């Protein structure tokens, strides 16, 4: 479901699919919270998510969590946790 890049310090989520019968119940948000916590445990400095920018129902999941829209050869959202520098 997600992969920690071996040559970088990031984590990439290729696709997040929620069954229609579970949509609107917070499942995607809960998974993304799990993912950001897992990324921190793995020492990942960033997370990227493949998500079609036209898929507007997905935006309320990523944007409030601090993800930003970025263009990287396609449609992506990226999250970089704040550092304590």
Mean pLDDT of 77-84: 71
Is residue 11 within 8 Å of 47, Cβ to Cβ? yes
Nearest Cα residue to 81 out of 30, 53, 42: 42
Give 14-50 pLDDT, tens digit per residue.
888 889 999 899 999 999 999 899 888 888 888 888 8
| Domains of the chain and any CATH numbers | 2-79 (3.40.630.30)
Band of the pLDDT at 70, cuts 50, 70, 90? confident
**pLDDT at site 26:** 92
Give 2-17 pLDDT, tens digit per residue.
555 555 688 888 888 8
* pLDDT(57) > 70: yes
Instruction: Give the C-alpha separation, 9 to 15, whole Å.
Output: 19
**pLDDT at site 6:** 56
């Amino acid at each position: 479901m997600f992969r920690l890049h071996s040559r970088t310090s990031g984590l990439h989520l290729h696709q997040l699919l929620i069954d229609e019968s579970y949509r609107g119940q917070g499942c995607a948000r809960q998974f993304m919270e799990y993912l950001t916590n897992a990324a921190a445990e793995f020492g990942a400095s960033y997370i990227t998510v493949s998500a079609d920018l036209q898929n507007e129902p997905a935006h309320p999941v990523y944007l409030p969590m601090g993800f930003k829209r970025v263009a990287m050869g396609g449609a992506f959202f990226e999250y970089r946790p704040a550092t304590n520098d």
